[in-house]
């Protein structure tokens, strides 16, 4: 296949395949007991994850053949469609509430998370808009902020701070690459801090999360519970862990260990060594992704690939940082590894778009 020429092509494909397979293996280890207790009689998580993986690969193989993904008109419509989904998810009876957030839409037995699609459409559509900038003229345009602000507001109404953080950081990097002046980022930082303070004031539970981050032992059975259980999984594991399948925290101590905190189970079972292997695979995948950007033939593709790879990198960093206690707890999946069909299919959709745009 022509798309697979070049070392970075093989590297990106191999690393993401390895991360996905590792994900299935640890979803089996982390989620089997939880599944048996809470979903007795239903298909185990690892079998569902295997099915999601098969669907994700099909999506990838289709995506790399869709030349329409290079058209701005397609991404404009995709952007509008994602905004419609973000509105629909807020309507009672359509949007599903999980863990305090109304972020999913039920489609028969399946659920989709519009914010995942929105992150992709905003980044690629924004890349088309930025690529139209003429050299020698001011890059700053109110339209850029408007394209970003609309989905940010809708996602925060769910609320889903993790997705907003990933999207904003990725788009801000796009602005930087496109030539936004550095002094403007001081304004961005002030606005971001003001916005964060506003979010804390309007939703006190976020303040509790910050307090739990500073000292999770203040409320170990409440706001600090997940952080405490994650650290208790990681702390005693040592260099090589307790052994595969030997996690203790997955036995109803760490809530839904196959999801956002699966990296804690990985560290508990295979130790620091196994955790570093996962990190190395992510670093290699991100490196290969940025190499794709360098070989892109158009400025639009260059911007889009930069943005999409950055989104993967920020999401992986944020999830791991939460697990090891570097940032407050927020609901973000570990790309390719955490359990969930929307997350896994979206990740492979992104990889497919990167391959298509790099042609």
What pLDDT, on a 0 to 100 scale, did the predictor assign at position 329?
Answer: 83
Return the closest-CA partner of residue 254 out of 273, 269, 275, 276: 269
d(CA 97, CA 112): 12
- pLDDT of res. 199: 67
Contacting residues for 319 by C-beta, under 8 A, at least 6 apart: 260, 263, 332, 333, 334, 335, 338
Contact (Cβ atoms closer than 8 angstroms) between residue 15 and residue 231: no
Q: Burial level of 163, CB count in 10 A (0-12/13-18/19+)? A: buried
Q: Is the peptide bond before 226 cis (omega within 30 degrees of 0)?
A: no
- Considering the chain, what is the average pLDDT of its residues? 88
- The reported pLDDT for the residue numbered 213 is 75
Rounded Cα distance, 46 and 55, in Å: 14
Task: Report CA 132 to chain centroid distance, whole Å.
Answer: 28
Give the three-class secondary structure for 96: strand
How many CA atoms does the CB half-sphere of 73 hold within 13 Å?
2
The tokens of 160 are what?
């889903």
The C-alpha atoms of residue 84 and residue 78 are separated, in whole angstroms, by: 10
Residue 42's Cβ-count burial label (10 Å; 0-12, 13-18, 19+) is: exposed
Q: Hey, what are 302's tokens?
A: 């260059």
What are the residue ranges spanned by the domains of the chain?
2-357
Residue 1 is predicted with a pLDDT of: 43
The DSSP secondary structure of 58-74, one letter per residue, reads HHHHHHTT-GGGG-HHH
Q: What is the pLDDT of residue 2?
A: 47
Best CA proximity match to 336, nearest among 3, 10, 4, 14: 14
pLDDT tens-digit readout, 59-98? 999 999 999 999 999 999 999 999 999 999 999 888 888 8
C-alpha–C-alpha distance, residues 315 and 19, integer Å: 14
From edge to edge, which strands make up the β-sheet containing 110-112? 95-98, 101-107, 110-112
Are residues 146 and 122 in contact, defined by beta-carbon separation less than 8 angstroms?
Answer: no
User: Which pLDDT belongs to residue 201?
Assistant: 65
pLDDT of residue 218: 77
> How does DSSP assign 16-69, residue by residue?
HHHHHHHHHHHHHHHHHHHHHHHSTTSPPHHHHHHHHHHHHHHHHHHHTT-GGG
Q: Report, as ranges of residue numbers, the positions in the chain whose pLDDT lies below 50.
A: 1-2
| Alpha carbons 250 and 31: distance in angstroms, whole number | 7
- 237, two tokens: 């594991």
pLDDT of residue 7: 80
Helix count and strand count (H, E) for the chain: 12, 3
3-state DSSP helix/strand/coil % of the chain, to nearest 5? 70, 5, 25
């Amino acid at each position: 296949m022509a798309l697979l020429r070049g070392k970075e092509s093989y590297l990106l494909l191999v690393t993401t395949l390895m991360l996905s397979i590792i994900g299935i293996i640890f979803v089996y280890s982390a989620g089997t007991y939880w599944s048996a207790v809470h979903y007795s009689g239903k298909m185990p998580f690892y079998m569902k994850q295997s099915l999601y993986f098969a669907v994700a690969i099909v999506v990838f193989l289709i995506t790399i053949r869709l030349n329409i993904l290079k058209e701005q008109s397609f991404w404009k419509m995709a952007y509008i469609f994602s905004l419609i989904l973000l509105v629909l998810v807020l309507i009672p009876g359509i949007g599903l509430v999980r863990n305090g957030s109304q972020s999913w839409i039920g489609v028969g037995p399946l659920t989709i998370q519009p914010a995942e699609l929105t992150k992709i459409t905003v980044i690629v559509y924004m890349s088309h808009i930025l690529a139209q900038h003429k050299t020698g003229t001011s890059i700053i345009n109110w339209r850029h902020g408007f394209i970003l602000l609309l989905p940010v507001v809708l996602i925060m109404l769910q609320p889903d701070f993790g997705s907003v953080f990933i999207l904003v950081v990725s788009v801000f990097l796009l602005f930087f690459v496109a030539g936004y002046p550095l002094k403007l980022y001081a304004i961005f930082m002030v606005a971001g801090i003001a916005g964060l303070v506003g979010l804390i004031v309007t939703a006190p539970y976020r303040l509790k999360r910050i307090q739990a981050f500073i000292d999770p032992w203040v409320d170990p059975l409440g706001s600090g519970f997940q952080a405490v259980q994650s650290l208790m999984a990681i702390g005693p594991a040592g260099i090589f862990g307790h052994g595969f399948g030997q996690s203790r925290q997955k036995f109803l101590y760490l809530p839904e260990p196959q999801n956002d905190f699966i990296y804690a189970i990985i560290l508990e079972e295979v130790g620091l060594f196994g955790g570093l292997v996962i990190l190395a695979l992510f670093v290699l995948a991100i490196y290969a992704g940025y190499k794709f950007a360098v070989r892109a033939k158009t400025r639009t593709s260059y911007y889009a690939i930069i943005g999409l790879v950055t989104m993967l990198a920020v999401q992986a960093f944020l999830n791991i940082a939460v697990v090891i206690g570097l940032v407050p707890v927020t609901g973000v999946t570990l790309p390719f590894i955490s359990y969930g069909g929307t997350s896994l299919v979206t990740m492979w959709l992104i990889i497919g778009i990167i391959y298509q745009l790099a042609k």
